[in-house]
Each structure stands twice: as structure tokens, then as C-alpha cells.
Amino acid sequence: MTDTTMTDLMKAKVIGRTEIEDLVVVPLFAVIMALLLGALTMLATNVDLATIGASYVALLKGSVGSLNAVSETLTAAAPLVLAGLGLALGFRAGLFNIGAEGQVLMGGMAAVVTGFSFASLPAVILLPMSLLAGALAGALYASIAGWLRAATGAHEVISTIMLNLISYRLLDYMLRLPFIQKEGRADPISKSVPDAAELPRLLGFLDPNLRVHAGIFLVLIAVVVVYWVLFRSKLGFEFRASGENAEAARFAGIHSGVIIVAAMATAGALAGLAGANQVLGVLGRATPGFSAGIGFDAIAVALLGRSHPVGVLFAGLLFGALKAGGRQMQVDAGVSIDLIGIIQALIIVFIAAPLLVRALFPWGFRHAKGGPS
């Protein structure tokens, strides 16, 4: 590993102007361009300007326009941030983990089974136990891909995609097992978790329909922990060193196989925690496809957040707002909610091409003179 690379990785993490541009300015312009192109898409499909304006007003209203809107935004954002943190950590370690969806499913399923299996335990024991079960299940499931990469060289993109497919069928099978399937039901649906295993709702005393729950605190803790791990711990240094140059890291004495498995396991634990968050905080039970694509949306969140824990937090909040506001947009303006998917895809297109964003908005960036910023 070169002296410059080693020094850059070991020094304290100080956010400079260039990194602020990458974390804030590029994503901001990407969102603006996505919204503009979304409006053009509506124009191209014979949606009039008044309806376009009404749809974006409804999007804003449905995401932050009321206490209920904010509650729905935070509820939608929580699992996205957790899973996105895991993916971002993997990206930092040079691993492109596509398997968050399967890890979310396995983590959520483990949390549900733990919850109803030990229903007699008090909440102070049962809730942490259920969350831990979700994290462990996600970690173990992701470790399969990590071990395959370390032991055989099998690329994690392929193995995690295959593990996603396996998780769908495994979930269907498990939901029909007698000790998991809800009594008296013929369809694949699990028993409900007891109240002691549920993440308590924070604003239920104001309105029972406000779904925001204590998983928000879990998200904030996870952001702080992942930041510390990545930028303040030896393990995080090894993750980042391997991601920068795996071969040089090996020559520096870093055991690449161990780092690969550890990075995948940590990413899987966070994704599993996202699944546990969803079933214990929102759904109360497991059904086929209960993740609703959280694991795939989390890839976009990690990319939009530039694989930085703070960036992932804000990206998750944005995607949560799009999800919550999209429903309001469909109701108020009659615009298809599929437009939200288009906007999300456009955001990722621009995030993946930062040079294009800089070319379109040159006035928004500082031009270095006489050397790098």
C-alpha cells in the first residue's frame, strides 16, 4: 500500500469541501434533475401543468405536511437506512452486496419466530432478543456469500442474487410449517408477535394511527456505530484499506478473507436488523415478500448517500419521504405512484454519473486551480 493511501486512511476523518460536494451538492442536484425529468415524463404522457404542480405539492404535503406525514416518512425511512448502512459498509470494503433483500427477509423471519416462541418473557428481554435474532440471521445469511468469495473467489454479486432467490422460496416454505403458520389459516402467514416483542409506537398517545416507532432510535444508534466503526476503529480501517486496494492490504498484513467475511456479516446484520425493524415495528407478523423491496431500495439509498453513514441517513429520509408522499400524490393528483419509481431511478442515474451532474451545474462546484482540492 502506498504511503499516501495509508496516511489518508489512518488520519482523522475531516470532511473537506470536496467531500461535502460529493455528499451534499451532487445528490441535491441529482434530486432536482430527477424531479424536473419526472415533470417532463408527466408532460409526455399528457398530464397538464396544473396536475404536475398539484402532484408535487401533494408529494411535499404527504411527506412533511403534517404530523401523520412525518410519521409515515420516518416509518418508511427506518428500514431503508438500516439496510443502506449495511450496504454502504460493504461498498467501503470493496464488496457489492446485492443480497440485502434476502438478508432482510431472513432477519425479519428470525425476529418473528423468536418473538412468538418466547411470548412469556417480559418486553425488556424479549424485544432485544428478537432484534438480536434478526441481526444474527441476517449476518449468517450474508456470511455465506462472504465465505464463498473468500474461499472460492465466487463473486458476491452473483452469490447474493442467488441467495435472494433462495430466500423467497425459503420464506414460503417456512411460513407453511405448523409451528410458524398462524392457526386456522391455509395461506402462508406467520403467527403474530406478542406485544412484548413489538417496537413501541412513539406517538400513539396522540393518535393510534401514527405509526412511527422506537426503531427510529435504533436507526440513529446504528448511524453513530457504523460511523465509528468505519472511521475510528481498526476494523473499519481494514475494511476501507481492503476496499481501496485489496492486494496492497494483503501485503500490509490484513487478512483479506477474514475481512471479506466480517464485512459481509456486518452488512447482513444491519439488513437483518432492518427486517426485524419492519416486522416488530410495523407489520407484527411475516408474510411472503413482507420486505416490499426494502433491500433493493437500500442499494439506491447507499449510493445516494455516497456510502457515508450520515449521507445514508439523509438519503433514507429522502426515499422515505418519496414513499410516503407518493401515496398522497396518487390520491390528490391522480398521478400513478409508478412515477416515484421513475424519480428514484433517475436519482440513481445522476448519482452514478457525478461528472454529468458537475457538467450540468458547473456553477455549483468549486473548480480547483493548481492541484486537487
pLDDT at 118 exceeding the cut of 50: yes
DSSP state of 222: H
Which H or E run contains 166?
helix 156-174
Partners of residue 181 on adjacent β-strands: 190
User: Residue 18 carries which side chain, given as an amino acid letter?
Assistant: T
Q: Confirm if 163 and 107 have CB atoms less than 8 A apart.
A: no
pLDDT, averaged across the chain: 87
Q: Compare 353 and 185 and report the one with higher pLDDT.
A: 185
DSSP state of 362: G
User: Could you report the per-residue pLDDT of 208-259, keeping only the tens digit for each?
Assistant: 889 999 999 999 999 999 999 999 998 888 888 887 766 667 776 777 788 9
Specify the CATH number of the domain 3-9+16-364: 1.10.3470
Q: Which residue has the cell 442467488?
A: 162
Instruction: Please give the Cα distance from 323 to 90 (Å, whole number).
Output: 25
* pLDDT value of residue 348: 78
For the chain, what are the domain ranges?
A: 3-9+16-364
Q: Compare 121 and 46 and report the one with higher pLDDT.
A: 121
Length of the chain: 373
User: Could you report the per-residue pLDDT of 32-91, keeping only the tens digit for each?
Assistant: 888 888 889 888 888 888 888 888 888 889 888 899 999 999 999 999 999 999 999 999
* pLDDT value of residue 373: 39
* pLDDT value of residue 370: 42
* pLDDT value of residue 12: 43
Instruction: Please give the Cα distance from 365 to 361 (Å, whole number).
Output: 8
The count of other CB atoms within 10 Å of the CB of residue 185 is: 12
User: Could you report the per-residue pLDDT of 22-33, keeping only the tens digit for each?
Assistant: 677 888 888 888
* pLDDT value of residue 27: 81
In 92-153 the beta strands, taken as DSSP E runs, fall at none
Q: pTM for the complete prediction? A: 0.87
pLDDT at 263 exceeding the cut of 80: yes
Q: Confirm if 97 and 160 have CB atoms less than 8 A apart.
A: yes
Q: Confirm if 130 and 114 have CB atoms less than 8 A apart.
A: yes
